[in-house]
Amino acid sequence: MSSTKTKTPQYVKKRTRRGVERWGYDVWLRNESGKRKRFRDWTFGTKSEAQQALAALRTKGWKERYGVNPQEEKTTTTIEQAVDSYVKFKKADLLANRSDDPSAYYRETPGHLRTLLRWCEYAGPDRPVTSITKDDFIFWIAEETERGRLNKKPIKKGTIKRGLNTICAALNHAVENTATFKDLVDYHVPKNPLGKNVEEERDRVLTDEEIVLLSEALSAKPEWEEALFFFQLDLMTGARMAELIRMRWTESSSRFGTVKLYSSKTRKWRTILVPAAATLLANRKASGLGGAELVLTHPDHWYRERFRRASKKVGISYGQKTPGGWTPHDLRHTCLTNLAIAGVPINGIKEFAGHASIVETQKYLKFMPQSIELAGKASNRLGQLSRAQLDSETPRASEQSLRLIKNTL
C-alpha cells in the first residue's frame, strides 16, 4: 500500500525582482469581515526577515479579526505635568484676552500661577497626581503660614485659600483632560480644606464726616488735585481702581449723564447712569487736566500714598493691615452701601457694580445706622397705611439701640 504525502504550500519564497534576488511572501489572509485578502511583499534580503514579517502580519490579522487589542501601556501623570499643562493653558487664555490698551494691567505670570509653581516644587514635581490627598493641602497650609511668620509678613487664611483654589483648578484641569492624562479617569481631586468663612469680612465704610475730612485734606495741597478727583469719582461710581486708571475721556457723556467702565475681572463693559460723575469728568477735561486720552495720569501706588498722608493728617486710620483702616477699594464699599441705604434694589446695585452674582453684591453691603432708620421709616409707613395708631414721624433710634442691633447681626 503506497502512501501519498500532502505538499505544504510555501508562502515564503525567493524571487528575482529587477535583476535582484529578494525574499518575500505571497499569502491570502482573512480580514475583520471574514473576507480573504491577498498580501504580497518582496523587499526582504533574507528568508528569516520575510518569515518574521509574515508572522507579524498574521498575528495582526487575527487580532483585528477577533477583536483582540494589545494592552495599552500604563502612564503616570506627575504633578509637574499637570501643573505645566494648566500654566500653559492659563497663559494662553491671558494672552488671548489681553487688552491693546497700554495702561491695562497685565503680567505674563500672575501671582496665583507663581503660587502654583511654588506648590509644585514643594509637593514634588515627579510625584504622581493620584497620590495627592487632603493631608497634602493641610501640610501646605502649615508651610505657607510658617513662610509668612519667617518673613515677618503674616499670610491671611483667605490668601492661602485662594492659592489652594488655583492648585485644585490645575488638578481638575488635568482630570478633565483624560485624552492626555488617561490614568486620572477615576481620580477625584480633594476638596479645599479652607471653607467659605475662613476669611473675616472687612466691615469698613467711610462715614459722611470722614468723607468731608478726607476731601478737605486732599484739597489742601494743589499737587494732590488728581488724588482728590480720584476720591470723588470713585465715591460716585463705585468703580474698581483698575477701571478708573484705564478710563478714557470718550467713555463718559455729560449729555446723557453716563459713564462706561470695563472690568478686566469679568471682562465685560457696563454703562452706569451717574450725571454728577459725568459732569465732574467734563469739567476736568475742560480745565485741561488729565492725559490726552486717559482721564488719570498716575499709577495706583501714587493715589494710595496720597490717601495715606491725607488720612494721617486728619487722624483717620488707613491701610488694610491697620485695625479699622480704610483702603481705596473701600470707596467702592462706601458707594454701594449708600446705594442700598437710598433704597436701590440689590439687583440694581449688582448691575451698577458689575458683579457676576447677587452673592458678590451682598458682601459689599455693610451695616450702617442709616439703614436701620430707613427700615424703621418704611415699617412706620406701612403701619400708617393699615390705620395703626402711630405718631406722624418715626423717632430716631438711639445710639444704644443701634449698637445692640449691630451686635446681633
C-alpha span between 134 and 236 (Å, rounded): 45
Statement: residue 26 has pLDDT above 80: yes
Phi, psi of 326 (to 5 degrees): -110, 160
* Model confidence pLDDT, tens digit, residues 61-94: 777 766 666 555 678 899 999 999 999 998 888 7
pLDDT at 308 over 50: yes
Nearest to 105 by CA among 264, 250, 240, 328: 264
Q: Summarize the confidence of residues 31-51 as an average pLDDT.
A: 81
More confident residue, 152 or 243: 243
Asked if residue 318 has pLDDT above 60, the reply is: yes
Residue 138, C-alpha cell as written in the block: 493641610
pTM metric for this prediction: 0.60
Contact indicator for 274, 252 with CB cutoff of 8 Å: no
Q: Which amino acid is at 113?
A: L
Tell me, what's the pLDDT at 405? 44
User: 95 — phi, psi (to 5°)?
Assistant: -70, -40
Query: What is the share, in percent, of the chain residues with pLDDT greater than 90?
Result: 45
Three-state SS for the chain is CCCCCCCCCCCEEEEEECCEEEEEEEEEEECCCCCEEEEEEEEECCHHHHHHHHHHHHHHHHHHHHCCCCCCCCCCCEHHHHHHHHHHHHHHHHHHCCCCCCCCCCCCCCHHHHHHHHHHHHHCCCCEHHHCCHHHHHHHHHHHHHHHHHCCCCCCHHHHHHHHHHHHHHHHHHHHCCCCCHHHCCCCCCCCCCCHHHCCCCCCCCCHHHHHHHHHHHHCCHHHHHHHHHHHHHHHHCCCHHHHHCCEHHHEECCCCEEEEEECCCCEEEEEECHHHHHHHHHHHHCCCCCCCECCCCCHHHHHHHHHHHHHHHCCCECCCCCCCECCHHHHHHHHHHHHHCCCCHHHHHHHHCCCCHHHHHCCCCCCHHHHHHHHHHHHHHHHHCCCCCCCCCCCCCHHHHHHHHHHC
Least confident of 89-93, 133-137, 359-363, 382-386: 382-386
The reported pLDDT for the residue numbered 391 is 56
Predicted confidence at residue 324, as pLDDT, reads 87
Residue 360: predicted pLDDT: 84
Is residue 261 within 8 A of residue 286, CB to CB? The reply is no
Cell numbers given for 122: 514643594
Position 361: which residue type?
T
Which distant-in-sequence residues (6+ apart) come within 8 Å of 79 by Cβ?
120, 123, 124, 125, 126, 127, 128, 129, 132
Q: What is the pLDDT of residue 54?
A: 86
How far is 155 from 178, CA to CA, in rounded Å? 35
How many whole angstroms separate alpha carbon 216 and alpha carbon 206? 15
Mean predicted confidence (pLDDT) in 155-162:
87
CA atoms of 405 and 409, how far apart (whole Å): 7
pLDDT digits (tens, 9 = 90+) for 206-235: 988 999 999 999 999 999 999 999 999 999
Report d(CA 25, CA 126) in Å as an integer.
48
Q: What is the pLDDT of residue 394?
A: 46
Would the pLDDT of 49 be above 70?
A: yes
Q: Taking residues 196-200, what's their average pLDDT?
A: 60
Work out the mean pLDDT of the chain and round it to a whole number: 83
Looking only at the bridges linking them, the beta strands covering 12-17 and 252-253 are: unpaired
Residues 6+ apart with CB under 8 A from 110: 94
- Given the candidates 1.10.3720.10, 3.30.70.580, 1.10.443.10, 1.10.1060.10, the CATH classification of the domain at 210-366 is 1.10.443.10
Q: What is the mean pLDDT of residues 43-55?
A: 85
Whether the per-residue pLDDT at 7 is higher than 60: the answer is no
Partners of 44 in the β-ladder: 23
**Backbone φ and ψ of 165, nearest 5°:** -60, -40
Residue 192, φ and ψ in degrees, nearest 5: -65, 120
Separation of CA 47 from chain center: 64
